[in-house]
Amino acid sequence: MLPQALINAIEALGHLPGVGARTAERYAYFLFKSSPRISQEISSVLGDLHTNVKSCPITFALIDSNEEVSSLYQDPQRDKSTILVVEEPLDIYAIEQTHQFQGTYHVLGGAISPIDGITLNELHVKELMQRITPDTVKEVIIATNPSVEGESTALMLQKMLHEQYPEVKVTRLARGLPLGVDLSYADQITLSAALENRTNL
Amino acid sequence: MLPQALINAIEALGHLPGVGARTAERYAYFLFKSSPRISQEISSVLGDLHTNVKSCPITFALIDSNEEVSSLYQDPQRDKSTILVVEEPLDIYAIEQTHQFQGTYHVLGGAISPIDGITLNELHVKELMQRITPDTVKEVIIATNPSVEGESTALMLQKMLHEQYPEVKVTRLARGLPLGVDLSYADQITLSAALENRTNL
């Protein structure tokens, strides 16, 4: 009933995460109605995505294919003795936008999840451990997501670091009230953490 | 900070309707992490979208470029004397899935919206009027969306049809409770319509 090229576009766009049949239909129809320039732009940039982007072999941040290692890691201005550990490469981008962190990053590539068979072995933990001595690391800031998986990963990592490198300080991002959220809407755990970690005014 | 090819992909995917920076980042990173086959599939089908799909010159449904007119319109099994009028081509697909309608369709290409400067002249209304006599149309079912724009379009269309072709019956889809929605959650207008148009049990 629908033209084959449109059905193909709907099916292809349906591969995107969280995109169901209705959303894929909307995207495909939007692209059909819009200037062909937009479809062409998407087509061409997606072709470059796998050839021009790779993972940094040390920090696992995303880098240009022609770079050796992440430019953030190579920057002599950045303090290599502090490593901030995140789950995914785009988390680096979120932290960098605060302009508050001068250390380097390490991307785990996910969080442990027994259901999906992801243990610390599947994450870039070994590579993190290998950075501790050469970079004379003094502090590891664990910035995994505040989810069950992220919290478990943080605990396992903390235990492992403590056993192998007891002199390294291990910290994690503070839990507390996010800006602009009404106190009465905050969940119990967040509110408990905010109370427990209260700061002097 | 991010590789240029990834930034390009995020910007291109941000053109999709309702996709902001965060969602575009998620899509681009997902495509980078997935098999290149998926990016290639999207690239190639989007290239075909504008060359292989066109609008039917009579009904304005979407058709394959190699078709003359919509196959639904040409089908001798379909009753040309009943036209169901929809706003967008994909609405046809929704109606067809009910398997309850044996007539033909007409796509307006939108709904009137004074703010956006869209009047009946911008929609495929003239082409609808031109179908009434040759197709000996007996009934026009108006199936515009139950929005302010859709309702206004329905009223204007009804008035126009009544003036020019008083013998043509003009109907619209029933208003009432949708399946699975709790009575107490239904809005006032829907509930009023459901009460007014109550049917015998």
Comparing C-alpha atoms, which of A88, A177, A36, A50 is closest to residue B51? A36
A56 touches chain B (CB under 8 A): no
> pLDDT tens for residues B149-171?
999 999 999 999 999 999 999 99
B32 touches chain A (CB under 8 A): yes
Mean pLDDT computed over A111-117: 91
Q: How confident is the model at residue A196 (pLDDT cuts 50, 70, 90)?
A: confident
Asked whether A84 and A106 are in contact (CB, 8 A), the reply is yes
Where does residue A129 rank: exposed (0-12), middle (13-18), buried (19+ CB within 10 A)?
middle
Structure tokens at B136: 């000996």
Q: How far is CA B110 from CA B23, B61, B88, B120, B149, in A?
A: 27, 13, 6, 10, 9
Asked whether A111 and A152 are in contact (CB, 8 A), the reply is yes
**What pLDDT score does B153 carry?**
95
Angle at A195 between CA A192 and CA A201, to 5 degrees: 160
Comparing C-alpha atoms, which of B189, B198, B128, B196 is closest to residue B164? B128
d(CA A47, CA B25): 16
Is B31–A46 a contact, with Cβ atoms under 8 angstroms apart?
yes
> pLDDT tens for residues A45-61?
998 888 999 999 999 99
Judge whether residue A169 has pLDDT over 90.
yes
Query: How far is C-alpha B160 from the geometric centre of its chain's CA atoms?
Result: 21
Specify the length of chain A in residues: 201
Q: How far is CA A46 from CA A9, A66, A90, B15, in A?
A: 14, 18, 18, 14
d(CA B91, CA B107): 9
A33 touches chain B (CB under 8 A): no
**Which of A49, A60, A70, A104 has the most B C-beta neighbours within 10 Å, making it the best mutation to test the interface with B?**
A49
Comparing C-alpha atoms, which of A50, A41, A13, A10 is closest to residue B36? A50
Is B31–A25 a contact, with Cβ atoms under 8 angstroms apart?
no
**What pLDDT score does B201 carry?**
80
The predicted complex's ipTM stands at 0.81
**What pLDDT score does A187 carry?**
85
Beta bridge mates, A118: A113
Where does residue A184 rank: exposed (0-12), middle (13-18), buried (19+ CB within 10 A)?
exposed
A20 touches chain B (CB under 8 A): no
- Our CA-based measurement puts residue B199 at a distance from the nearest CA of chain A, in whole angstroms, of 31
Structure tokens at A174: 């503070």
Judge whether residue A27 has pLDDT over 90.
yes
Mean pLDDT computed over A98-119: 93
- Our CA-based measurement puts residue A32 at a distance from the nearest CA of chain B, in whole angstroms, of 6
Is A8–B45 a contact, with Cβ atoms under 8 angstroms apart?
yes
Secondary structure letter of residue A113 according to DSSP: B
Structure tokens at B65: 């470029």
Q: Would you call B72 helix, strand, or coil by DSSP?
A: helix
d(CA B159, CA B173): 17
pTM score of the predicted model: 0.79
> pLDDT tens for residues A72-91?
999 999 999 999 999 999 99
Per DSSP, the residues of B145-158 read: -SSHHHHHHHHHHH
A89 touches chain B (CB under 8 A): yes
Q: Chain A: residue nearest B96 by CA?
A: A1
Which residues of chain B fall below pLDDT 70?
none
What are the chain A neighbours of B72 within 8 Å (beta carbons)?
1
